[in-house]
Amino acid sequence: MFKDLSFQSFFMGCLTAFVGFASSFAVVLQGLKGVGASDFEAASGLMALSVSMGVCAIVLSAWTKLPVSIAWSTPGAALLATAGTVEGGFAAAVGAFLVCGALIVIAGLFRPLGRAVAAIPAPLANAMLSGVILGLCFAPFKAIAFDPKLGLPILVAWAAVLAFKRLYAVPAALAAFALVIAFGVDLPEGAVASWTRSLAPPIELVIPVFTPPALVSIALPLFIVTMASQNIPGIAVLKVNHYNPMPGPLFAVTGLFSLFSAPFGGHVVNLAAITAAMCAGEDAHPDPGKRYWAAIIAGVGYVILGLAAGAVTAFVSLAPPILIQAVAGLALIGAFSGSAVAAFKEPETREAAAVTFLITASGVTFAGISGAFWGLVTGGLMMALLKLARASKK
C-alpha cells in the first residue's frame, strides 16, 4: 500500500485539504450559528465534522483503493444558515442532525429509499438549493455597504484571483479577510490572549432533543440537499474519472460518520464533489490505481485542521459577523450559479422550479417549518399539475 504513495499524491492531498477546509468553513460556522449554536458549540461542530470527514476519507480510500473524497455538506450548512433557531434550540438541531445521519445510512442500505431520493426532480432540488444559498450570496455586497474599507478588499481579492485561477479564489478572499481583521479591525483588550487560550481542540457534547419542527425544517431538507447536491454528484465525479464504486456502502459509511459527529455539533459529512475531482483526476497521479493516496492524505489534513478549529473560530469571532458572512457568500456564488442554471434550464419545468426557488428564498415559515421544505413540496405539486395539464391537451 505505501509503495503507491508519491509526492504528486501527497501534494494534491494537502492542497485538497486546504481548499476543502478554507473554502467553506465559514459557511459551516454561519450555518451552525444560524440554528442556535454558540461560538464554542460552532467550533466544536466544525472540529467534529473535520475530524469525522478526515477519518472517513482515510477509511474508505484505504478500504476501496479508490480516491474517495469526503466533505461536510456545504449546501446543508447554507440551508442551516437560513433555517433559523427552531423550538428546542441547538439541541433540537442536533437531534435533527442525528436523524439526517440515520436517513443517509438507511438510504445506503435500503435501495428503494436511495432511488426515491435520486428520483427527486433535479430542477426542483437545484431550485431549492439556489433559494437556500441566495441570502448568503448577498453578504459580500452588504459587507461593502457596512464598511467599504473592510468589505471591498475581500471582494477584490476574490475577483482578482478568480480571473486567473478559480480554485484559489476563496482562499484568497479568506487571506484578505485575515488581513482585514489584523489591520482594519480594532481588537478588544485581551483578544490576543483569548485567542491563544483557544488553541486547545474545542469539544462540546450536546444532548439532542427531538422536536417535530426541527425534524421537518432541518432533518428532511438537510437529507435531501445532501443526497442530491453532494452524495449523488460525488459518485458521478468518480464515474467520470473511470471509477465504478458501489454507491450504497459509501453512502452508509458517510451516514455513520455523520452520526458520530452530530452529538458534538456537526451537521453531516458526505461524499465530496469539487475536491473529489482534485483527488480523482490526473493531477493526483498518472496511474488511476494510485490516486487513492491523495484522498488519504487529504483525510489526514482534515483531521489536523479540525483539531485547530477552536483557534480558527476564535480568530473569526474577532471580526464583525457580516465579514465572515461575506467570505461564506463568495464561497457559495459558484454553487448558486450552477444550481440556478440547472434549475431553469428546461422550459417545461421552469414555473415549478421558480415556485420552489421563490418560496425557499423568501424565508417564510409555516407551522414552524422552513420555506425550503414548503418550496420543494409546492414545486412538486406545481410540476405534477403542469404535467397533468399537458397530458389532458393531447
Beta-carbon-side half-sphere exposure of residue 13 (alpha carbons within 13 Å): 28
Q: Per-residue confidence at 199, pLDDT binned at 50, 70, 90?
A: low
Return the higher-pLDDT residue of 265 and 186.
265
Contacts within 8 Å (CB) and 24+ apart, 351-354: 351/382, 351/386, 352/121, 352/123, 352/124, 352/127, 352/379, 352/380, 352/382, 352/383, 352/386, 353/123, 353/124, 353/126, 353/127, 353/379, 354/127
96 pLDDT above the threshold of 90: yes
Query: What is residue 197's predicted lDDT score, i.e. its pLDDT?
Result: 54
Percent of the chain with pLDDT over 70: 88
170-184, 243-257, 325-339: lowest mean pLDDT where? 325-339
Ordered by start, the domain boundaries in the chain are: 2-393
Exposed/middle/buried for residue 170 (C-beta within 10 Å: 0-12, 13-18, 19+): buried
Q: Per-residue confidence at 274, pLDDT binned at 50, 70, 90?
A: low
Q: Per DSSP, what are the bridge partners of residue 71?
A: 270
200 pLDDT above the threshold of 60: yes
CA dist 367 → 86, 213, 343 (Å) = 11, 8, 27
**What would the pLDDT profile of 153-196 be if each residue is shown by its tens digit?**
999 999 999 998 877 787 888 889 888 887 876 655 555 555 55
Average per-residue pLDDT in the chain?
83
99-113, 123-137, 251-265: lowest mean pLDDT where? 123-137
Give the position of cell 466544525: 46
Query: What is residue 57's predicted lDDT score, i.e. its pLDDT?
Result: 95
17-21, 139-143, 211-215: lowest mean pLDDT where? 17-21
Query: What is residue 365's predicted lDDT score, i.e. its pLDDT?
Result: 65
Query: What is residue 98's predicted lDDT score, i.e. its pLDDT?
Result: 96
223 pLDDT above the threshold of 60: yes
Query: What is residue 92's predicted lDDT score, i.e. its pLDDT?
Result: 94
Model confidence, pTM: 0.71
